[in-house]
Chains A and B, each alone.
Chain A
């Protein structure tokens, strides 16, 4: 079952090798932290410029995206961004890695731009258009079945766990022993019309994943070092799920943990202060 290790919960078959880790990866972690800041700042600019929603989701998922995109640079792996409504963050992460031009971000949400409000597979680096929840995980299973040499990362929201296809997919992925599949849950605790525990309480989440035959870890989704360790750990004969505990609107006090920022767009007059707040964060 599960045990606690420095805030990280692991299954018995999955012990983290912490010694020697930081010394070899500290530079990478610093780089990823900068990437996460870049994603947050660009997301603010894009969402505000387009007067579009979902900035809260962009800010909660920024650290996860920064880590996964870094890993993708190292290997020929694949990311499926199932919580497509946080599109600005995804596009920003692609620009951060020069997969799309940074200037393109300025077109977000404008007429004829490919950078539409839910991730669009016409954009380089986006393999699947999403926006309807519950599609990313089964898509990822298909990729993992067909390309055993790849590792497939699927980022979903915790609200997305309401969808039945998520649970169907959990069952078949473990039956097929897809150890080249990692599911990352942006568990910010807030979905479209309320807190996840109020709308459809699935706690204790980690037990459900273990029961479905997955290796699982429950960690601080804003701790780059914890995330990095969790991603790097091999999972034998099982798919892996990372429950990343995040904060909706992370990095801007006015937005943190507030449902309204699923919908509101940042006020242009406050934008400068929001960006300063992001940059001043450790």
Chain B
């Protein structure tokens, strides 16, 4: 998704409105094409994520759009106050780019995992948050930012097949797609989505998979029909429960008095220990060893 990100920035940059790309000394083998084409709009500021976000805000205050790129934990946790005060409060056109979601930096350890980023940035309600599931949704998010601006956070997972190559979908809301026609609803976001869609247990006549590319602060009434008709609702995500998409779904169900069979699979932050292991090993350990197959059980 990182390459799709920069390809999209390049493709949709117009010479008179070229955005700026800042990086905190990351992006090797990714950002070079932009640096080569627009050297005056590219700055490797060094390993200073806090200052980078303020610099991005300063550039944006002059009417420019800016991408500020680093690994997710650095661009969010490290620079939280700059995101809050300089970007969100001033409503500036800065897209904070976080690379790596969930346990994708598996053996790199806890410092590099991104399991609380959604919770942290969700508290800054002026931010729009994108959690793309594939290259297509990454492109859609970047185009949206280039068109509409505003404080934006995009969490980029590792490259996976486009979901559209696996199954057909319908658009049911702003940056929300649904796969399948079933009454058993599974809700997810980010690069974990493909695990659901690729599962042999996913029967599109029995299940519907709602994929959120943008994580809204509040689910609006457009989802009422789907949830009202659902026979069960399950949420799968590789972030902590607090501040997650599941917390938004829970609020929606409670506020609309929808008493449905409900299951929510996320990461238990209290149990986290940094240990070696692949992304999939760590993810399965936190969510339960058969977490994908669990979704399809009654």
Give chain A's interface residues, CB within 8 Å of chain B: 121, 127-132, 134-135, 137-147, 164-165, 168-169, 171-172, 176
Most buried by B among A141, A146, A176: A146
| With contact pairs A143-B61, A172-B45 given, residues A129 and B89 touching in the complex (Cβ less than 8 Å) | yes
Within the complex, the shortest CB–CB distance from B124 to chain A, in Å, comes to 14
Is B76 an interface residue, CB under 8 A from the partner? Answer: no
User: Is B55 in contact with chain A by the CB < 8 A criterion?
Assistant: yes
A145 is contacted by which of B48, B53, B59, B86 (Cβ under 8 Å)? B59
Known: A165-B48, A165-B51, A172-B48. A138 touches B58 (CB 8 A): yes
A145–B42 Cα gap in the complex (Å)? 11
User: Which residues from A are CB-within-8-Å of B59?
Assistant: 142-143, 145-146
Does B181 lie at the interface of the complex (its beta carbon under 8 Å from any beta carbon of A)? Answer: no
Additional A-B contact list (15), CB under 8 Å, known A146-B59, A168-B50: A127-B61, A128-B86, A129-B85, A129-B89, A130-B85, A132-B81, A134-B50, A135-B86, A137-B54, A138-B51, A143-B58, A146-B60, A146-B64, A165-B50, A176-B43
B90 at the interface (CB under 8 A from A): yes
Question: What is the bound-complex CA distance between A141 and B62, given in angstroms?
Answer: 12
B50-75 interface bits toward A, Cβ cutoff 8 Å, 1 = contact, 0 = none: 11111111111111100000000000
- Give every chain B residue within 8 A of A140 (Cβ-Cβ): 58
What's the least CB distance linking B83 to chain A, in Å? Answer: 12
A142 near B60 with CB under 8 A, answer: yes
Contact B54–A143 (Cβ < 8 Å): no
Task: Name the A residues within 8 Å of B48 (CB-CB).
Answer: 165, 168-169, 172
CB pair A132 B85 closer than 8 Å: yes
B51 in contact with A172 (CB, 8 Å): yes
CA A173 to CA B43, docked complex, whole Å: 12
Question: A167–B116 Cα gap in the complex (Å)?
Answer: 29
CA A169 – CA B20 in complex, angstroms?
A: 18
Find chain A residues with CB under 8 A from B61 CB. 127-128, 139, 142-143, 146
Which residues of A have CB within 8 Å of B208? none
Q: Which residues of B contact A (CB under 8 A)?
A: 20, 43, 45-46, 48, 50-64, 81-82, 85-86, 89-90
**In the bound complex, do residue A169 and residue B58 qualify as a contact, i.e. CB atoms below 8 Å apart?**
no
Q: Is the CB of A169 within 8 A of B51?
A: yes
Contacts of A138 in B (CB 8 A): 50-55, 58
B54 interface neighbour in A131, A139, A176, Cβ under 8 Å: A139
Contacts A135-B85, A165-B48, A168-B46 known; A142 to B54 CB distance under 8 Å?
A: yes
Quote the shortest CB–CB distance from B188 to chain A (angstroms): 36
Which residue of A131, A132, A146, A176 contacts B58 across the interface (Cβ within 8 Å)?
Answer: A146
Q: Name the residue of chain B whose CB is nearest to the CB of A166.
A: B51
Please give the distance in Å from B17's CB to the nearest CB on chain A. Answer: 13
State how many angstroms separate the Cβ of A182 from the closest Cβ of chain B: 15
Q: Complex: how many Å from CA A147 to CA B64?
A: 10
Check A146 against B20 for contact (C-beta < 8 Å): yes
Contacts of A145 in B (CB 8 A): 20, 43, 55, 58-59
Q: What are the 4 tightest A-B residue pairs by CB atom distance, in nearest-first order? A: A142-B58, A138-B54, A146-B62, A168-B48
Chain A residues near B89: list those with CB within 8 A. 129
Q: How far does the alpha carbon of A127 sit from the alpha carbon of B56 in the complex, in Å?
A: 15
List 25 interface pairs A-B (beta carbons < 8 Å), by A numbering.
Answer: A121-B90, A131-B85, A134-B50, A135-B82, A135-B86, A138-B51, A138-B53, A139-B54, A139-B55, A139-B57, A139-B58, A139-B86, A140-B58, A141-B51, A141-B54, A142-B58, A142-B61, A142-B62, A145-B58, A146-B20, A165-B51, A168-B51, A171-B46, A172-B48, A172-B55
- In the assembly, what is the distance between CA of A66 and CA of B103, in Å? 53
Which residue from chain B places its CB closest to the CB of A175 in the assembled complex? Answer: B46
Q: How far is the CB of A12 from chain B (nearest CB, A)?
A: 28
Chain B residue at minimum C-beta to C-beta distance from A135: B54
Q: Do B85 and A165 have beta carbons less than 8 Å apart?
A: no
Q: Min CB distance, A113 to chain B, in Å? A: 18
Chain A residues contacting B62 (CB-CB under 8 Å) are 142-143, 146-147
Which residue of chain A is the closest to B53 with respect to CB atoms? A138
What's the nearest-Cβ distance from chain B to residue A140, in Å? 6
B223 to chain A, nearest CB (A): 35
A139 vs B86: C-alpha distance when bound (angstroms): 8
Known contacts A121-B90, A146-B20, A168-B50, A141 near B85 by CB under 8 Å: no
Q: Which residues of A contact B56 (CB under 8 A)?
A: 142
CB atoms of A172 and B46 under 8 A apart: yes
Query: A170 to chain B: closest CB distance in Å?
Result: 10
Which residues does chain B contribute within 8 Å of A141, judged by CB atoms? 51, 54-55, 58
How far, in angstroms, from A146 to B54 measured CA to CA in the complex?
13
- How long is the Cα–Cα vector from A132 to B63 in the complex, in angstroms? 24
Query: How many Å from the CB of A253 to the closest CB on chain B?
Result: 37
Contacts of B53 in A (CB 8 A): 138
With most chain A CB atoms within 10 A of its CB, the pick from B51, B56, B57, B90 is: B51
